[in-house]
Structure 1
Amino acid sequence: MSKFNSRSAAAVPAGPVRATTRTPVATTHEGGAAYLREQRGDLLLFALTNMVGEASFYESADERDRRFRDLVHDVAVEDPEWMHGFVGWLRDAAGMRSAALVAAAEAVYARLTLGLHGGNRALIDAALQRADEPGEMLAYWVATHGRNLPKPVKRGVADAAARLYTERSLLKYDTAAKGYRFADVLELVHASPAADKPWQGPLFKHAIDRRHGRDETVPDALRTVAANRALRAEADRDPAVLLDAERLRAAGMTWEDVLSLAGPRLPKAELWASIAPSMGVMALIRNLRNFDEAGLPDEVAETIAARIADPEVIAKSRLFPYRFLSAYRAAPSLRWGHALDRALTAATANVPALPGRTLVLVDTSGSMSSRVSARSAVSHADIGALFGVALAHRGAQVDLVGFADGHFAHPVTRGGSALRDIEAFCKRNGEVGHGTETVAALKAAYRGHDRVVLVSDMQAFRYAGQQAGNLSVSDAVPASVQFFGVNTSGYAPAVIASGTKNRFEIGGFSDKLFTLMELLARGRDAGWPWEG
């Protein structure tokens, strides 16, 4: 009788993040059994949580930045093709601006240091997707590596400038607050206007002229810039022109500019009503409190809410799901709640509806209380609650459990509000202590589920149970059961033996990697996300 070659034989699905060891050879920051990852997977998980220059619970900002640079240097030299795909995907699909920029800069620096020249220009260009980012790249390079700009850096930045610089981006991003303005970029890298943009030559010249105070006239080709200048001059005499929404849009006026020009001369509610049609989703949800405090009329609020709730608008915005949780908490009134709830649902559309029974275990330990970044009020515990609730709302049979020193089961309202469920879960943080007894929680909560999803920073305590040695998190679940680790912090020790049968690790703040979870859950291989 054949032991292996039977009709039920099937390939084991493989994910992109692999452990380099099949048994624990390291420990977490809290002493739990851990594995080492292959460098590219390590870099992927780290980049998806790396805000750059930000400390985490277990690492200082300098330690995190140094570890990130070291990983980038090694991978860029060993696998430049992978690095190019990674940088472009990290900036575009994953939405990590600073991490992508630093990855590109450090990859090129490492390669040039070793005399490796192919593909460096394209690496720089791939990381720059917004018009303020060419200046960001130059500022980072000069501050980190000095004023000598290698040709690949200059040419990559020049490519991005020709691709990204427009009249509206000039008006929005070319401000005196920037150390490197559009003109500085253009003069340093000698960017040439794009051949298919006849207006870009006049735009480049005007950017340089206004940087040096000689922009008395606006070139005829720059209609938006001219309209902006005319509207500003008119607003000095008659601020009421700022209530014309169509003129604001035609003049490329930002909401910050309009509020500054109007000052106290116009009612704030009327101003917001005229600005709102030109504002992007991120600007809208950041200003919900301002709308309420200004007394914005309900009919205007309804049009804003409709845009926030539009799945197509949310998909194009590429905002992290936690932005809608943050906006929900900041909004004083209830009139935005339903729209934000629908926006969150749209922003987590990639979270799969998994068949069978799923245990979702969310870390509520002390380390998870640290904030995502210094500018954000959202914590890693909030991220865990968000993804845990999102999975529970998608799944037919989901048991949602929080854990620290102990654990608690948390009910999810069928057909209810995801935001309310998240808030209810978050209120239980600290209920069962502040430690990270991950293994104990898994052993207590697992009851024959078809799969387990762990959302955590993965810094488990050493297991003090009856088993000999230090039982790993990965081994706390039967080997026949699919086990997904959703990593919120990107620390180097790995508690999931990813790459072994039924063990997978994903991470970050975006829902994009849940596409990988669905593929793996259905028994299909999932390669690097940018490979299709």
Structure 2
Amino acid sequence: MRFNFTLRRNESVRNHEGAAGFALTPQLELYAAVATAALSDQFYETADTRLLRLRELVARNDPAFVARLAVYAREQLYLRTVPLVLTVELARLHRGDNLVSRLVARVVQRADEITELLAFYAQANERDGVKTLNRLSKQLQKGLALAFNRFDGYQLAKYDRAGRVRLRDALFLVHPTPRNAEQQTLFDQLVQGTLPTPYTWETELSALGQQQFASAADRKAAFRLAWETLIGSGKLGYMALLRNLRNILEADVSEVAVEQVCARLTDRFAVARSKQLPFRFLAAYREVLTVQSGYVAVVLEALETAIAESAANLRGFDSSTRVLVACDVSSSMQQPVSARSKVLLYDVGLVLGMLLQSRYSHVVTGMFGDTWKRISLPRGRVLQNVQEFYRREGEVGYSTNGHLVIRHLVQRREVVDKVMIFTDVQLWNSTGDGDTLARAWIDYRRTVAPNARLYLFDLAGHGTAPLEVRAGHGVALIAGWSDKVFDVLQALENGESALAEIEKIDLG
């Protein structure tokens, strides 16, 4: 999320485009890499390369910081895989106390994370198969045993899936002591494969899908009834609802069911509890746009309300602040955030940028590639505005001339309080005139707006910055995809930092 620090200047540092850059400290580089980690191939970095860099950075950092960062990533950024990676690496390197066992018990919050952690432990230690895990770290073993004790029969059955490591394998490896006779029975059932099949909306629809129907109309009627029953029961979680809006509409559910869906989507308490990353609403919005249904308009409106609710409690905003929001639409930003997602890094920047626009009265928005272009859009329609930006992204080309954003302000003598650039931070000048973001920013602060502040929202975490990030220069670097990036804007005024927030984590 947010860094307010001095980078180490190194003339030999180059970003992935070969432009001069500034190196981050090991703590900050690890933080940026974690906050943006999808662990899938990206434009500049493969998944294996990112994973290797994470492992190297763990070795270069203090163990307590790594542990706090893992907890922060799991509990504040709602990430699942990368906290497990940090935990395993710490288990390989750290000895002498119970830090690892406490960390394992903290970051493992779902039963399937037990098996995911063990599978990565095998990979990290170059072991092939479950049988080679018999030399498990004692602290890892202790932490996993504590985690096992937290899960009931429903959770164990729901996440007892086929894979490189099964839950029964994990049970044999860590030997958890059951809390009571009831839990001993559950462990026995897990070993024997006799845990009752849990009722979930997935199992119900899966069973329905295997049935034979006399006609396509009968099949559609059965699925319509199933979706209406699920919606009415309240058993469909918020994320499941978001991901199945297209299926629900295509099942032609009743008006009453659609009203229930919209009420659920726009419930501010449900939105807050769901802890959805902002771009999840965009993914749902785009899926709904593809449906032929008379209810599409009301569901799109509900999604607009939902994402507005997700940003309702953002702190650190003064409606009178003059802001410029610039979105990088270069080729390297046209990459999915993960292997299974249709959402691009570019989309994440647009969503966060439009959320910011919704918070200010005096705001300039635009996008840059070969050129910089201002685009004026109405407030109050975050997702619709993202779609409009997306439709027009080819108008500026696909280079990364971020310096043009600032040059535009210099040339117009236009004063803004905050410049917010959403980018993968791999900026370079394709015009050949030698100008840079660093030079443009110095000129802007010297000749136009001496109190202006620049926020670079790093959406990729490649480990460098295009200019010196220092409070005295009015520059901050923010990393991550979550709306948590906005929480730190108020902290900037108080001289706080993301690292300071991480240090506050109590490992217990």
Return the offset for 1:289. Answer: 1.3
Does residue 140 of structure 1 match 2:120? yes
Q: What displacement does 1:325 show?
A: 0.2
Residue equivalent to 2:461: 490
CA distance in 2, matches of 1:93, 1:469: 34
Match of 2:207 among 245, 261, 266: 261
Amino acid corresponding to residue 172 of structure 2 in structure 1 = E
Alignment match of 2:139 (pick from 116, 127, 152): 152
Partner Cα separation in structure 1 for residue 276 and residue 45 of structure 2:
26
User: Equivalent residues in 2 for 1:318-397 (5 A)?
Assistant: 318-331=275-288, 332=291, 333-349=296-312, 351-352=314-315, 353-354=317-318, 355-397=320-362
Give the corresponding residue for 1:193. Answer: 178
Q: For residue 45 of structure 2, what is the aligned residue in structure 1?
A: 59
| Pairing of 1:415-454 with structure 2 (within 5 A) | 416-445=380-409, 447-454=414-421
SS in 2 for 1:402: strand
Q: Is 1:33–1:470's contact at 8 Å kept on the other side of the alignment?
A: no
The correspondence for 1:87, drawn from 62, 67, 70, is: 70
1:499 counterpart letter in structure 2: R
SS of the residue corresponding to residue 393 of structure 2 reads coil
Structure 1 contact 440–463 (Cα < 8 Å) conserved = no
Other structure's SS at 2:337 match:
coil
The structural deviation recorded for 1:524 is 3.8
Structure 2 residue aligned with 1:36: 23
1:400 has 2:400 as partner: no
The aligned counterpart of 2:228 is: 273
CA distance in 2, matches of 1:109, 1:511: 33
Deviation at 1:23, TM superposition (A): 7.2
2:80 is aligned to: 97
Aligned counterparts of 2:486 and 2:248: Cα–Cα separation in 1: 34
Answer yes or no: is the 8 Å Cα contact 2:469–2:476 preserved in 1. yes
Query: Could you tell me how far 1:512 is from its partner in structure 2?
Result: 0.8
Residue in 1 that maps onto 2:187: 204
CA offsets 1:64-122 (integer angstroms, 9 cap, x no match): 111111111211xxx2222221111101110111111111111221225xxx5441212
Query: Does structure 1 conserve the Cα–Cα contact (< 8 Å) formed by 2:438 and 2:468?
Result: no
- Per the alignment, residue 239 of structure 1 pairs with none
Moved more, 416-425 or 259-268: 259-268
> C-alpha distance in 2, partners of 1:397/1:80?
44
Distance in 2, matches of 1:411 and 1:69, equals 43
Deviation (angstroms), 1:358: 0.8
With the length of structure 2 as denominator, give the TM-score of the two structures.
0.86
Q: Secondary structure at the match of 1:429?
A: helix
* Structure 1 residues 252-303: Cα deviation after superposition (integer angstroms, max 9, x where no partner): 5112211122234561000111223211111111111111121111211211
Compare 116-125 and 32-41 and name the one that shifted more.
116-125
**Alpha-carbon distance in 1 for matches of 2:366, 2:42:** 24
Alignment partner of 1:461 out of 420, 428, 435: 428
What is the SS of the residue equivalent to 1:419? helix
- Secondary structure of the equivalent of 1:483? strand
Q: CA deviation at 1:486?
A: 0.5
Q: Distance in 2 between matches of 1:23 and 1:451?
A: 27
Partner Cα separation in structure 1 for residue 99 and residue 381 of structure 2: 48
Provide the residue aligned with 1:171 in structure 2: 157
- Cα distance in 2, alignment partners of residues 123 and 51 from structure 1: 21
- Tell me: CA distance 1:335–1:497, structure 2 relative to 1, closer, same or farther (3 Å): same
Identity of matched residues, %: 29
**Alpha-carbon deviations, 1:102-148, whole Å to 9, x = none?**
11111221225xxx544121222232121210111111111221223
1:288 match: 245
Matches within 5 A, 1:112-123: 112=95, 116-123=96-103
**Counterparts in 2 of 1:23 and 1:452: CA distance versus 1, 3 Å:** farther
Structure 1 unaligned spans of 5+ = 1-14, 219-224, 229-251
Counterpart residue type for residue 171 of structure 1: A
Retained in 2: the 8 A contact 1:473–1:496? Answer: no
**1:217-232 correspondence runs (5 A):** 225=196
CA distance in 1 between counterparts of 2:114 and 2:146 reads: 9
1:330, CA displacement in angstroms?
Answer: 0.6
Q: How many Å apart are 1:198 and its aligned residue?
A: 6.1
Root mean square deviation, CA, Å:
2.4
The answer to whether the Cα contact below 8 Å between 1:30 and 1:462 also exists between their aligned partners in 2 is: no
Gap change, CA 1:339 and 1:496, over 3 Å in 2: farther
- Residue in 2 aligned with 1:237? none
Please tell me whether residue 46 in structure 1 is matched to residue 33 in structure 2.
yes
| Equivalent of residue 300 in structure 1, options 230, 238, 257 | 257
Are 2:13 and 2:22, in contact at CA under 8 Å, matched by a contact in 1? Answer: yes
- Partner of 2:140, secondary structure, is helix
Residues 369, 380 of structure 1: 8 Å contact kept: yes
Q: What SS does the corresponding residue of 1:362 show, helix, strand or coil?
A: strand
Contact 1:371 1:378 in 2 (8 A): yes
